[in-house]
Each structure stands twice: as structure tokens, then as C-alpha cells.
Amino acid sequence: MDQIPVILMAVLLDILIGEIPVRIHPVVHMGNLIDILRGELGNTRISGFLLTFTVASVFTAPLILTFYLEGIVWFIVSGFLLSTVISIRFLMASALEIKGALESSPDVAREKLSFLVSRDTSSLTEEQIASAAIETLTENLTDSVTAPLFYFILLGLPGAFLYRTVNTLDAMVGYMDHYCRYIGWFPAKLDDALNYIPSRLTGVLIIPAAIILCMNWRKSIKTIMRDARRTPSPNSGFTMAAAAGALSVQLEKPDVYVLGDPLDSLGSRKIYEAVKLSSVTVAIFLLLVTGIIWVIQ
């Protein structure tokens, strides 16, 4: 039951304060270490394993010491550190920033979006901008919220930081281009494995969120069943397909995948609705996990 107040503290810190300064942010330092090591280890699958093992060890092993903390010290340290590996406020604020920019200047929206997605945003239509914003928001519900908390519940702070380390490695070297296809293979596959359960759980929880918000929950179920496996990633399609169905829209990454049906038009209003849907999904997840912890402990 001690995990419940830590989770709530971490979530409140993230929502009220947001990202901590870069100079002390552990995820920023993860990225810096990855940049240094990948240039030294070479470009092989063994290099990818060594990179993952080294970075994970540096950021996870010291946290085993938190198991020896007690009382208020454990609560404060754990709550603060856990808040650094979740990004609820940044996730929602980024989507709303794209929404505002899209309403005033699509060119500004394209520029802001380029910092959030890997695709070329320079020639995206307004509908494609809205689609990309919703896709990155709903995909990152797993990466930035539910998965870190899931592994905190299972393995404590070391589990949450192990997940964040692997996810950061995947984001930086997990692309299957000429360079990363070797060094990025192991972290990409490990990230797929770690996200398998959280992504599906999050996708399912979008359905009751849609019910609460009077959105198209039946279509959400149908779209998950039909489209969730259409994405190159074995996991990201579950939350995106669930959201596409709930919002009654079609989400598309040109020449890669199409999710959902275009029952409604895409625009800034749908980004706002996606933020509401995502927020309620997070709330349901928190209620679910706190309830489970309460019953078990």
C-alpha cells in the first residue's frame, strides 16, 4: 500500500511542476551517456546489448538502495524520482500547443510538431498535422505514463528506471536505418517486450474513458480488433487504434499505416478531444492500479 502515496505524489509533482531543470534531469543524462557510448562501442548487435546493459546498470543499480529507505525519506525520494520518468503534463501540453498553433498558423504547427515526431512535417496538411499530434499523444500514453508506473508497481524504482532507460535507448538508436539497424536491434526488441502488456492495457482502458466522455466506444473496440496490428511497432497500434475509433477519425502516417475510419473530420477540435480522452484514460489507470495495490497489500 506504500506504493499508492508515492504514485500519487509523483503524478501530482509532474502535473503541477512538470519537467525538472535539464541539468538535474536523469532522462537527459541518460541521453547524454547514450550519445557518448554509442560512438565508442561500434555498430553491431553485441554493441547494442552492451550499450543497453551499461546505461541500464548506471541508472538502475544505484536505485536498489531505495529499498533500504524507510518512512518519509523513502516517500519523498521515491515520489520525486518517479516523477522524473513520467510526463503527463508535457504530453498534454504539447498536444494543446499543436492545437493552438494549428488554429492560428499551420506553418507554426508544422514546426512545433517536428520536435515531437520523426516524420517530415514540412508538407503535412492540416488534417495530417492533427492526425500526427493525436498519434504521438496516444502512443506516448504508454511510453510516458502507464508503462513506467506499471514497472514501478512490479519492481519499484529500479523497474521504472529500467523501463525509461530502454525506452530512451529505443528512441535514440532503435530506428532501423543504415546505422541503427545493428546497434539499435537489441534495445528496440527489449522495448517491444517491455511495452507488450502496458500498451494493450492502455488501449483497453481508452474504451471506458470513451464511455465516460460519451465518445464512440463501440467503434473503439472494433478499431482495436481490426487495426491495432497494422503499425510497424507491435505495440503502438493499440492505443492509437483505440483513440481513432473513440474519436471517430482516421489516423494516418502516409505510406506506413492507416487506422480507423473517417467518420468525422480531423482538426484542432479533435486534438482537444484526444487530450480529454487521454486524461481520463490516465485517471482510470491510476484508479485501477491503486485499487489493485489496495486489495493485494
Domains in the chain: boundaries:
3-296
Segment 142-160 mean pLDDT: 97
pLDDT at 224 over 70: yes
Confidence band for 295, pLDDT divided at 50, 70 and 90: confident
State whether residue 31 is helix, strand or coil. Answer: helix
State whether residue 221 is helix, strand or coil. Answer: helix
Confidence band for 176, pLDDT divided at 50, 70 and 90: low
H-type alpha helices, 122-146: 126-141
Do residues 134 and 249 lie in contact, with contact meaning Cβ atoms separated by under 8 Å?
Answer: yes
Confidence band for 180, pLDDT divided at 50, 70 and 90: confident
DSSP label at residue 65: G
pLDDT on residue 177: 64
